[in-house]
Structure 1
Amino acid sequence: MKFSDKIYETLKELVAVPSVSGTEKENLASEKIYDMLSNMAYFKENKGNFGIEEVEGDYLKRKFVWAIVNGKQKSKNTLILTGHFDVVGIEEFGHLKSVAFDMEECTKRISQLNLDKDALEDLKSGKWIFGRGTADMKCGIAINIELIRKFSEDQDFKGNLLFLAVPGEESNSEGMVAAVPFLLKLQEKMNYDYCGAIISECSIPQNKNEEFKRLYMGSVGKIMPLFLCVGKETHVGEPLKGLNPNILVSEVNRILENNPDFSDQVNNITTPLPMCLKQMDLKELYSVQSPLYAAAYYNLFTLSMSEEELMNKLKNLALEAFNNVLYDIKNKRERFVKKSGKEFQCIEIEPCVMTYEELLFEVKSKDKNFGDYIKEKVELWKKQNKDNQTIAINIVKETCEKYEDKKPMIIVSFIPPYYPHKYLEGKDEKSKNFIGAIDKTIEYAYKEFDEKIIKEDFFMGISDLSYTGIEKNQNLSNLSSNIVGYGTSYNLPLESLSKLNIPAIVFGGEGKDFHKYSERLNVPYTLNVTPELYKYMIYSLLK
Structure 2
Amino acid sequence: MVLGREQTAAITRQWALALTEIESVSGGAGEAALGPWLRDALAADPAFGGAECWSFPVREGDGRHCVAMLLRGSGRETLILTGHFDTVSIEDYGELRPLATQPDALAERLKLRLETAAHTAAEQRAKADLASGDFMPGRGLLDMKAGLAAGLAVCADYAADQNRSGNLLFLAVPDEEVNSVGARAAAAMLPQIARDKNLDLVGAVNLDAISDDSEDGHRGRVIALGTIGKVLPTAYVVGVPAHSGFPLAGINAAALAGAIAARVEWAPELTDDSAGETPGTLPSLLSLSDGKPGYDVTTPGTAFASFNVLSYRRSPETVMNSFEALCREAADTFLEGLKKRLAGTRSQDRETVLDRRITLYRYETLLKKAVAVDPNHASLIEQFAGELAASALSLPEQCRRLTERTWMLSGFSGPAIVLGFGSIPYLPTNLSEAPAARKLHQAAEALAKAAQSKYGVSLQTTGHFAGISDMSFFGEADEADLAVVAANTPMWKAGIRWPDQGGVAGVPTINLGPWGRDYHTPLERIHVPYGFDILPRLLIDLTRRVLG
- What TM-score, normalized by structure 1, do the two folds share? 0.92
In structure 1, the residue matched to 2:256 is: 248
- Structure 2 residue matching 1:305: 3-state secondary structure: coil
Alpha carbons of 1:138 and 1:419: their partners in 2 closer, same or farther (altered >3 Å)? same
Q: CA deviation at 1:386?
A: 1.6
Structure 2: distance between partners of 1:135 and 1:218: 20
1:63-102 superposed Cα distances (whole Å, 9 cap, x missing partner): 111111111x2x2211110011111122332222221111
Structure 2: distance between partners of 1:208 and 1:530: 19
In structure 2, the residue matched to 1:323 is: 332
Unaligned 5+ runs, structure 2: 1-5
Structure 2: distance between partners of 1:349 and 1:227: 19
Alpha carbons of 1:255 and 1:155: their partners in 2 closer, same or farther (altered >3 Å)? farther
In structure 2, the residue matched to 1:7 is: 12
Q: Return the letter of the residue paired with 1:397.
A: E
In structure 1, the residue matched to 2:80 is: 80
Within 5 Å, give how 1:263-342 maps onto structure 2.
263-265=271-273, 266-335=275-344, 338-339=345-346
| Stretch of structure 1 that moved more, 365-374 or 263-272 | 365-374
Determine whether 1:152 maps to 2:155: no
Alpha carbons of 1:379 and 1:210: their partners in 2 closer, same or farther (altered >3 Å)? closer
In structure 1, the residue matched to 2:28 is: 23
Is the 8 Å Cα contact of residues 204 and 214 (structure 1) preserved in structure 2?
Answer: no
| Stretch of structure 1 that moved more, 89-98 or 290-299 | 89-98
- Structure 1 residue matching 2:418: 3-state secondary structure: strand
Determine whether 1:479 maps to 2:485: yes
Structure 2: distance between partners of 1:297 and 1:520: 32
Out of 413, 417, 424, the residue aligned to residue 424 of structure 2 is: 417
Structure 1: distance between partners of 2:267 and 2:32: 40
Alpha carbons of 1:21 and 1:271: their partners in 2 closer, same or farther (altered >3 Å)? farther
- Structure 2 residue matching 1:269: 3-state secondary structure: coil
Determine whether 1:376 maps to 2:383: yes
Q: CA deviation at 1:55?
A: 1.5
Determine whether 1:32 maps to 2:37: yes
Determine whether 1:168 maps to 2:171: no
Structure 2: distance between partners of 1:402 and 1:422: 38
Q: CA RMSD in A?
A: 2.3
Is the 8 Å Cα contact of residues 221 and 302 (structure 1) preserved in structure 2?
Answer: yes
Alpha carbons of 1:285 and 1:467: their partners in 2 closer, same or farther (altered >3 Å)? same
Unaligned 5+ runs, structure 1: none
Q: CA deviation at 1:235?
A: 2.7
Structure 2: distance between partners of 1:275 and 1:11: 35
Q: CA deviation at 1:42?
A: 8.3
| Stretch of structure 1 that moved more, 180-189 or 361-370 | 361-370
Q: CA deviation at 1:347?
A: 6.4
In structure 2, the residue matched to 1:65 is: 67
Is the 8 Å Cα contact of residues 70 and 155 (structure 1) preserved in structure 2?
Answer: no
Alpha carbons of 1:58 and 1:392: their partners in 2 closer, same or farther (altered >3 Å)? farther
Q: Return the letter of the residue paired with 2:493.
A: G
- Structure 2 residue matching 1:196: 3-state secondary structure: strand
In structure 2, the residue matched to 1:99 is: 99
Is the 8 Å Cα contact of residues 213 and 517 (structure 2) preserved in structure 1?
Answer: no
| Stretch of structure 1 that moved more, 344-353 or 266-275 | 344-353
Determine whether 1:532 maps to 2:537: yes
Is the 8 Å Cα contact of residues 118 and 208 (structure 1) preserved in structure 2?
Answer: no
Q: Return the letter of the residue paired with 1:110.
A: L
Structure 2: distance between partners of 1:19 and 1:422: 28
In structure 2, the residue matched to 1:467 is: 473
Out of 423, 438, 442, the residue aligned to residue 448 of structure 2 is: 442
Q: CA deviation at 1:507?
A: 0.4
- Structure 1 residue matching 2:79: 3-state secondary structure: strand
- Structure 2 residue matching 1:349: 3-state secondary structure: coil
Q: CA deviation at 1:389?
A: 1.3
In structure 2, the residue matched to 1:217 is: 225
Alpha carbons of 1:69 and 1:208: their partners in 2 closer, same or farther (altered >3 Å)? same
Q: CA deviation at 1:279?
A: 0.6
Structure 2: distance between partners of 1:233 and 1:81: 55
Structure 1: distance between partners of 2:380 and 2:476: 31
Determine whether 1:515 maps to 2:520: yes
Alpha carbons of 1:43 and 1:328: their partners in 2 closer, same or farther (altered >3 Å)? same
In structure 2, the residue matched to 1:53 is: 56
Structure 2: distance between partners of 1:420 and 1:281: 30
Structure 2: distance between partners of 1:341 and 1:140: 66
Structure 1: distance between partners of 2:379 and 2:353: 39
Is the 8 Å Cα contact of residues 470 and 497 (structure 1) preserved in structure 2?
Answer: no
Q: Return the letter of the residue paired with 1:353.
A: L
Structure 1: distance between partners of 2:503 and 2:378: 25
Q: CA deviation at 1:381?
A: 2.1
Alpha carbons of 1:119 and 1:289: their partners in 2 closer, same or farther (altered >3 Å)? closer
Determine whether 1:136 maps to 2:143: yes
- Structure 2 residue matching 1:511: 3-state secondary structure: strand
Structure 2: distance between partners of 1:467 and 1:342: 58
1:297-343 superposed Cα distances (whole Å, 9 cap, x missing partner): 011111111211111111111111211222122233445xx336963
| Stretch of structure 1 that moved more, 430-439 or 88-97 | 88-97
Q: Return the letter of the residue paired with 1:26.
A: E
| Stretch of structure 1 that moved more, 508-517 or 474-483 | 474-483
Structure 1: distance between partners of 2:93 and 2:47: 40
Determine whether 1:489 maps to 2:495: yes
Q: Return the letter of the residue paired with 1:429.
A: P
Structure 2: distance between partners of 1:528 and 1:343: 76
Q: CA deviation at 1:117?
A: 3.4
Structure 1: distance between partners of 2:242 and 2:522: 50
Q: CA deviation at 1:118?
A: 2.7
Is the 8 Å Cα contact of residues 99 and 106 (structure 1) preserved in structure 2?
Answer: yes
